[in-house]
Amino acid sequence: MAHRKKVLFKYIILGDSGVGKTCLMNQYVQKRFDKTYKATIGADFLTKDVMMDDKLVTLQIWDTAGQEKFQSLGQAFYRGADVCMLVYDMTNPKSFDNLEHWRTDFLHNASPPDPDNFPFIVLGNKADLEADRKVPKHKALTWIKSKGPKPLPYFETSAKDATRVEAAFLEAAQLALEQVSQEKDDYFPDTINLSQPATRRNAEPAGCC
Amino acid sequence: MALNIDQTKFLEEAMRKVKEQAFYMKHAMDNEDLKGTLTHASDMLRELRTGLLTPKSYYELYMKVLDELRYVEDYFTGLQKQGKPVVELYEKVQSCGNVLPRLYLLITVAGVYIKSLEAPARDILKDLVEMSKGVQHPMRGLFLRNYLSQVSRDKLPDVGTPYEGEEGGSVQDAYEFILQNFSEANRLWCRMQQQPTNAHNKEKKRREKERQELRILVGTNLVRLSQLQGVEAATYKEHILPRLLEQVVQCKDTLAQSYLMECIVQVFGDEFHIATLDLFLAACTQLKEKVNVRAILEGVMDRLATFAEANPAAIPPHLRTFDMFNTCVSKLLVERPGYSVVEVLRLQASLLNYALHSFPGNLEYLNLCLGNCATALADKRAAHQEQAVIVAPLPFALDSEGVEVVERLLTLPLACLALKVLELPHFASLLEFLPWASRRQVGVTLLQAVYNSRAKLSNLESVEKLLEMVVPVIKEEPPSVLGSEEAQALRRQQNGERGVEDAEEEDETGASRSRGGGCTGSTENGKARRLEEEQLLLGRLVHVMASPDTDMHFRFLAVARRHFSEAPKDRFQYTFPPLVLATLQLVRRVRRREVAAEGADGNQEGDTQGGRAASEGASEQVAVEDGNGVLGLKKRDVPGMQFGCRKLFQAVHEMLTSLAPHFANLALKLFLEAAQAADRCEADAFKLISYEFVTQAFLLYEDEVTDSKTQIRALTAMIGTLLQARHFDESDYDALSTKVTQYAAKLLKKPDQCRMVALASHLFFVGRADEPGHYHDPKRVIECLQRSVKTADMCMASSQHMHLFVEVLNHYLYFYECGCPTVTEKYLSALVAFINDKRNEAALVGGGPAEGSSRAAEIEAYYKNTLDYIRLKKTQTDNKELADRFSAIQV
Ligand SMILES: Nc1nc2c(ncn2[C@@H]2O[C@H](COP(=O)(O)OP(=O)(O)OP(=O)(O)O)[C@@H](O)[C@H]2O)c(=O)[nH]1
Ligand SMILES: [Mg+2]
């Protein structure tokens, strides 16, 4: 039964094109950084196993396309997300302004059971370009405070030199861990369905697992 | 609508079944029941065979299934860890009944198989990509291949992975696998369009929409290729891009070509593009007619330009990327004669933009693009005119889109080029195709760019050219030769749906009639403000012109003047003052040359009668009358210099004379400036000129200045000018001073009279009594002062008299101190006594604190200070004579 006990957290990374979503994921999962831009098309995940409180947790990290023309099939993959990471580029004010849009879009399409307390985490990326910074820190702080009963966790990261990348992903896992008690939409038969052909079952379904 | 409801229903039903089967599947797993697991998994996967769902709904279902397949993968991994050979699973799964569920399961097992390193990645992947051909239904096939791509993502025998090796394969196997999966996916995707339909338009549209939605499933394969660590630029060039391009060109599908080319640009890195630009561009010219090649080219150019800006010298110059793009564009134009002229212009605009960013300062490239546009438009115009003989009576004009592109083409290079645009011969020729309002806009941008660049205009040709280019800023549009209806039709065509200002201007009268005040007022204000800004901007141009040669500099100004004079007269107020002031500044330089030449001649006024100027070249050009113009000048030459101070003053005179009827106050002020400049020339010869300028100012004062405040300002300026003048003949000075005093005495308001007459008194006693060479007429001084006292006494009613008295007292003191003989201690003592009387009177009448106490206190303080000053002077020891004189005053 070990395989069923494994905990899986689904992360969704959202943000404008070019903010560094792919780079953040690659840095965290593969410890790699690529300085040329390569667009992401659609949505795609990488997984990474981490130990949390002596438990093995698999992180399924969904990287998404920031460019609209590369997002044709919709947001079905938002469903069942445990954490959403909102990323902007500190050197690009527009990407910060759009965070609100990404957040609303997520809540709308993922329809989590308790939207007000859904764990978001905000990343101001490209911290290595401090000299070109265009979004003042206080603006980010004001925004994260306005988004719920508690301020959203906020990290200034650099996918380039790995600054605070690990910390941000672990904080996200911690948040998910606190949420995990809320079960996802698992299927339970209305009645124990005995009409299932016997050949397909060796034993009675136990009703719950 | 019905479709949406059905979709929800179908999707819900399918989802329910998936969840149900997944439930039993997991149950079977818990019971270590492999067969049951496979059966339920298979039943779950069977839902993906549905033909009822739209791509988006199918995607939702697919996502759900993928979630569940993760459990299958974990289960298989568990079995493998327990020692079960994966090959057994691999074979067992192949016996699953239905092809689609079988392939999904197979791919899932294969993932575990490869990961276990029990089988070589290469062979397994080859197997899978081949077997997936078993699903030929486009949508199902595309999703299946997407799953294959997703599962294999981290199991490719790429460089540095555990799957690479003798057996497992190399990066070559990795990209071969992806390329094949991509080709198959693309084939399925293109086939959707070719599926037989009853050629119903609606059906076609729907299919097209579905294809649009599914495109990412094809594109992700390209992302996979770009993620391979082992692929270097050379490999990409040799083995990957050619295959991709072949696929793109061969599929002959407009949608696929547009999308995939764009993906290639976005998905692969800059270095790869630089290495393969020729290949890529060659493919661009082989695409279907309807593909928007410009968008694709712009994509590459933007990338390369951004890259070049961030990494200068990263693109080797020998690549000549601009030439490559240019060749590609030329080829397109030849091969696609159907392109509209606007599309041609847009292509050139993209090219120009690329040149600007990647090769800043390369005028040749820019000129080439502009020239291409000019040629295209000239051809078009020629064709139009040929036709016009038969049908169209309208002259050739761009439509609104064309106007917009040409405006952009001309504006883009300005910020970076500024005055260098004058070196682009095609800039001006292209400008001609624009309607007036757009040319004006370009002109304004050009002027701003020139000022920002701080460049100077230093030769006549550039001055002429630049002014020619900004003619629409200077002038109104000349009346059209067309009938008004035709002209309107033309305008409509040019304005299109862009509510450009011209359209605004046109309906203004109409608007004011129908909508009444408020709204129109604000547009009118806006228009006036815009005009003012533009004209001020234009005026600044005068200061951009500079030449070390004063003759040349004057010619520049003359050219500017010729242009500015053609403007509507109400604009003179902005453009003439800078011209006049610049000319007066030039006078100083010219005068220095003259003085130097006079010194060298050794005779100061000798050649006043000297012969006519050797060169008359610029005479008519600047409308300077030779010899005896208004100023009654006589010519005198400095060798090698054509325009002496006199000519400059002549020009100033003419300018001010044309300004005067419309802007009297401004002209008055400038006449006085000119008078001062002439006086500063420090030679008797200019006193007549100076006198003439002052006279003109006086005439303007008499005829045009009526408002009190303006009169006072004008008089103050006149007095100031006269006081500074050093070279008037005594009789002239006397006449002018008398005039000013008369003006002052005639002012409407008594306090104004009092003050200005007192001020004018200074004209009659310049400097101190013991200073020689100054004009001194003591009698007139005391007359003025006495008159001021009298006038002040008439201001009792307004109770301003006290202040005026003290003011006049101060004037008296000044002259007393200077030693003006008519101003004696007798007058001073009397005035002090007189003021004291008035004060007592006021106190008796009860002008207590009620009467503006703070003002009264102020006057008191002023008076007290004045008296203190007298007392101080009495005790002054370092000037015994002065102390004695002051002692005579009774306070
Ligand atoms: N200096 C710096 N550059 C970064 C950083 N993170 C990303 N970049 C660069 O930013 C560009 C975009 O990064 P990506 O990760 O591809 O951006 P994205 O958000 O995935 O973009 P889309 O896939 O289009 O949505 C790349 O050129 C990266 O090299 C960072 O922390 N510092
Ligand atoms: Mg990305």
**Residues A139 and A122 sit within 8 Å (Cβ to Cβ):** no
**Residues B721 and B730 sit within 8 Å (Cβ to Cβ):** no
Alpha helix ranges (H) inside B359-424? 363-388, 400-411, 414-417
Cβ burial of B104 (10 Å; 0-12, 13-18, 19+) is: buried
- List the A43-52 sheet strands across, edge first: A43-52, A55-64, A7-14, A83-89, A120-125, A154-156
Backbone φ and ψ for B642, nearest 5 degrees, come out as: -95, -40
Spatial distance between the Cα atoms of B583 and B640, rounded to a whole number of angstroms = 20
Averaged confidence pLDDT in chain B: 87
Spatial distance between the Cα atoms of B170 and B163, rounded to a whole number of angstroms = 8
Interface test with A, best of B63, B146, B265, B304 (most A CBs within 10 A): B63
Mutation choice for ligand 1 from A14, A22, A91, CB with most ligand atoms inside 8 A = A22
In the block, residue with structure tokens 């338009």: B201
Instruction: Kindly give, in sequence order, each residue whose CB lies less than 8 Å from that of residue B722, ignoring residues fewer than 6 positions away.
Output: B694, B728, B733, B736, B737, B740, B763
The more confidently predicted of residues B487 and B11 is B11
Spatial distance between the Cα atoms of B410 and A138, rounded to a whole number of angstroms = 41
Looking at this predicted complex, what is its ipTM?
0.90
Query: Looking at beta carbons, which residues of chain A come within 8 Å of B31?
Result: 202-203
pLDDT in tens, B244-293: 999 999 999 999 999 999 999 999 999 999 999 999 999 999 999 999 99
Out of A2, A77, A187, whose CB is closest to B23? Answer: A187
Alpha helix ranges (H) inside B796-846? 801-818, 825-845
Interface test with A, best of B18, B31, B263 (most A CBs within 10 A): B31
Residues 146-205 of B with CB under 8 A from A: 150, 153-154
DSSP state of B312: T
Out of A1, A65, A79, whose CB is closest to B30? Answer: A1
Out of A3, A67, A205, whose CB is closest to B24? Answer: A205
- Model pTM score: 0.79
Tell how far the Cα of A33 is from the centroid of ligand 1, in angstroms: 9
Domain boundaries, chain B: 1-119, 390-506+522-542, 547-599+620-705
Residue B183, pLDDT score? 97
Confidence of residue B482 (pLDDT cuts 50, 70, 90): low
A3 and B78 in contact by Cβ < 8 A?
A: yes
Region A18-26 average pLDDT: 97
**Residues B823 and B776 sit within 8 Å (Cβ to Cβ):** no
A121-135, B453-467, B513-527, range with the lowest pLDDT: B513-527
Nearest CA to ligand 1 atom 8: A20
Cβ burial of B182 (10 Å; 0-12, 13-18, 19+) is: buried
The more confidently predicted of residues B441 and B316 is B441
Residue B514, pLDDT score? 40
Region B706-712 average pLDDT: 92
By C-alpha distance, the chain A residue nearest B161 is A30
Residue B387, pLDDT score? 75
In the block, residue with structure tokens 């071969």: B176
Spatial distance between the Cα atoms of B113 and A25, rounded to a whole number of angstroms = 26
Q: Report the candidate in A106, A97, A102, A85 with the shortest Cα–Cα distance to residue A20.
A: A85
pLDDT in tens, B371-426: 999 999 998 888 887 776 666 566 778 889 999 999 999 999 998 888 898 999 89
A209 and B27 in contact by Cβ < 8 A?
A: yes
B457-466, B505-514, B655-664, range with the lowest pLDDT: B505-514
Mutation choice for ligand 1 from A13, A14, A23, CB with most ligand atoms inside 8 A = A23
Q: Report the candidate in B831, B828, B824 with the shortest Cα–Cα distance to residue B792.
A: B831
Count CB neighbours of A205 within 10 A. 20
Distances in Å between the Cα of B509 and the Cα atoms of A7, B220, B515, B516, B521 are: 74, 59, 10, 10, 11
Residue B642, pLDDT score? 86
Residue B490, pLDDT score? 66
> Which one-letter amino acid corresponds to residue B272?
F
Taking the CA of A16 as reference, the closest ligand is 1
pLDDT in tens, B158-204: 999 999 999 999 999 999 999 999 999 999 999 987 766 666 788 88
Region B573-581 average pLDDT: 96
Size of chain A in residues: 209
User: Which CATH number does B547-599+620-705 carry?
Assistant: 1.25.40.660
Using a pLDDT cut of 70, give the percent of chain A over it: 83
Size of chain B in residues: 891
Would an 8 Å CB–CB cutoff place A40 in contact with chain B?
A: yes
- Calculate the CA B349 to chain-centre distance: 17
Interface test with A, best of B40, B220, B258, B260 (most A CBs within 10 A): B220
Tell how far the Cα of B423 is from the centroid of ligand 1, in angstroms: 41
**Residues B556 and B631 sit within 8 Å (Cβ to Cβ):** no
Would an 8 Å CB–CB cutoff place A145 in contact with chain B?
A: no
**Residues B724 and B679 sit within 8 Å (Cβ to Cβ):** yes
Residues 41-100 of A with CB under 8 A from B: 41-42, 44, 46, 65, 67, 69-74, 76-77, 79-80
pLDDT of B630 > 80? The answer is: no
Q: Three-class SS of residue B483?
A: coil
Region B331-343 average pLDDT: 90
pLDDT in tens, B762-809: 999 988 878 777 888 999 999 999 999 999 988 876 667 888 999 999
Interface test with B, best of A1, A3, A199 (most B CBs within 10 A): A3
DSSP state of B613: P
Query: Looking at beta carbons, which residues of chain B come within 8 Å of A201?
Result: 24, 27-28, 33, 36
Query: Looking at beta carbons, which residues of chain A come within 8 Å of B219?
Result: 41-42, 70
Which residues are registered as beta bridge partners of B169? B165
Interface test with B, best of A1, A17, A36 (most B CBs within 10 A): A36
pLDDT of B645 > 60? The answer is: yes
**Residues B435 and B404 sit within 8 Å (Cβ to Cβ):** no
> Which atom of ligand 1 lies closest to the CA of A161?
31
Nearest CA to ligand 1 atom 13: A20
pLDDT of B620 > 50? The answer is: no
Confidence of residue A190 (pLDDT cuts 50, 70, 90): low
**Residues B332 and B348 sit within 8 Å (Cβ to Cβ):** no
Q: Three-class SS of residue B837?
A: helix
Query: Looking at beta carbons, which residues of chain B come within 8 Å of A67?
Result: 266
Out of A40, A80, A189, whose CB is closest to B23? Answer: A189
DSSP states of B127-172 = HHHHHGGG--SHHHHHHHHHHHHHHHTT-S--TTSTT-BTTTB-HH
In the block, residue with structure tokens 């000075």: B733
B216 and A42 in contact by Cβ < 8 A?
A: yes
pLDDT of B610 > 90? The answer is: no
Would an 8 Å CB–CB cutoff place A197 in contact with chain B?
A: no
> Which atom of ligand 1 lies closest to the CA of A26?
15
**Residues B685 and B608 sit within 8 Å (Cβ to Cβ):** yes
**Residues A27 and A123 sit within 8 Å (Cβ to Cβ):** no
Would an 8 Å CB–CB cutoff place B561 in contact with chain A?
A: no
Which residues are registered as beta bridge partners of A122? A86, A154
Q: Report the candidate in B545, B517, B525 with the shortest Cα–Cα distance to residue B459.
A: B545
Out of B19, B29, B75, whose CB is closest to A187? Answer: B19
Spatial distance between the Cα atoms of A138 and A157, rounded to a whole number of angstroms = 16
Residue B595, pLDDT score? 85
Instruction: Kindly give, in sequence order, each residue whose CB lies less than 8 Å from that of residue A18, ignoring residues fewer than 6 positions away.
Output: A37, A66, A89, A92, A95
Q: Report the candidate in B266, B274, B265, B193 with the shortest Cα–Cα distance to residue B237.
A: B274
Would an 8 Å CB–CB cutoff place B793 in contact with chain A?
A: no
Mutation choice for ligand 1 from A24, A37, A87, A165, CB with most ligand atoms inside 8 A = A37
- Shortest Cα–Cα distance, B447 to chain A (Å): 31
Would an 8 Å CB–CB cutoff place A39 in contact with chain B?
A: yes
Taking the CA of A19 as reference, the closest ligand is 1
As a three-state string, the secondary structure of chain A is CHHHHCEEEEEEEECCCCCCHHHHHHHHHHCCCCCCCCCCCCEEEEEEEEEECCEEEEEEEEEECCCHHHCCCCCHHHCCCCEEEEEEECCCHHHHHCHHHHHHHHHHHHCCCCHHHCCEEEEEECHHHHHHCCCCHHHHHHHHHCCCCCCCCEEECCCCCCCCHHHHHHHHHHHHHHHCCCCCCCCCCCCCCCCCCHHHCCCCCCCCC
Tell how far the Cα of B269 is from the centroid of ligand 1, in angstroms: 12
Region A158-186 average pLDDT: 84
Spatial distance between the Cα atoms of B17 and B44, rounded to a whole number of angstroms = 7
The more confidently predicted of residues A92 and B626 is A92
Confidence of residue B16 (pLDDT cuts 50, 70, 90): very high
pLDDT in tens, B315-327: 888 889 999 999 9
Residue B484, pLDDT score? 62
B23 and A206 in contact by Cβ < 8 A?
A: no
Strand-strand pairing, A7-14 and A83-89: parallel
DSSP states of B29-79 = HHTT-HHHHHHHHHHHHHGGG-SS--HHHHHHHHHHHHHHHHHHHHHHHHH
**What region does B663 belong to: left with phi over 0, alpha with psi -120 to 50, or beta?**
beta
Q: Report the candidate in B136, B261, B149, B239 with the shortest Cα–Cα distance to residue B189.
A: B136
B267 and A38 in contact by Cβ < 8 A?
A: yes
Region B36-61 average pLDDT: 95
B500-514, B703-717, B776-790, range with the lowest pLDDT: B500-514
Q: Three-class SS of residue B880?
A: helix
By C-alpha distance, the chain B residue nearest A10 is B67
Which domains can be identified in chain A, with CATH numbers?
A: 7-183 (3.40.50.300)
Q: Three-class SS of residue B545?
A: strand
Nearest CA to ligand 1 atom 24: A17
**Residues B305 and B354 sit within 8 Å (Cβ to Cβ):** yes
Out of B77, B216, B223, whose CB is closest to A72? Answer: B216
Count CB neighbours of B595 within 10 A. 15
Ligand 1 pocket (Cβ < 6 Å) reads A 15, 17-23, 34-40, 65-67, 125-126, 128-129, 158-160
**Residues B132 and B187 sit within 8 Å (Cβ to Cβ):** no
Would an 8 Å CB–CB cutoff place B40 in contact with chain A?
A: yes
Region B810-831 average pLDDT: 91
DSSP state of B239: I
Count CB neighbours of B84 within 10 A. 13
Would an 8 Å CB–CB cutoff place A37 in contact with chain B?
A: yes
**Residues A15 and A87 sit within 8 Å (Cβ to Cβ):** yes
Taking the CA of A17 as reference, the closest ligand is 1
Would an 8 Å CB–CB cutoff place A131 in contact with chain B?
A: no
Would an 8 Å CB–CB cutoff place B608 in contact with chain A?
A: no
Spatial distance between the Cα atoms of A21 and B71, rounded to a whole number of angstroms = 27
Spatial distance between the Cα atoms of B884 and B30, rounded to a whole number of angstroms = 127
Q: Report the candidate in B112, B53, B48, B55 with the shortest Cα–Cα distance to residue B78.
A: B112
Region B693-714 average pLDDT: 94
Here the tokens at position B370 are 């502009």
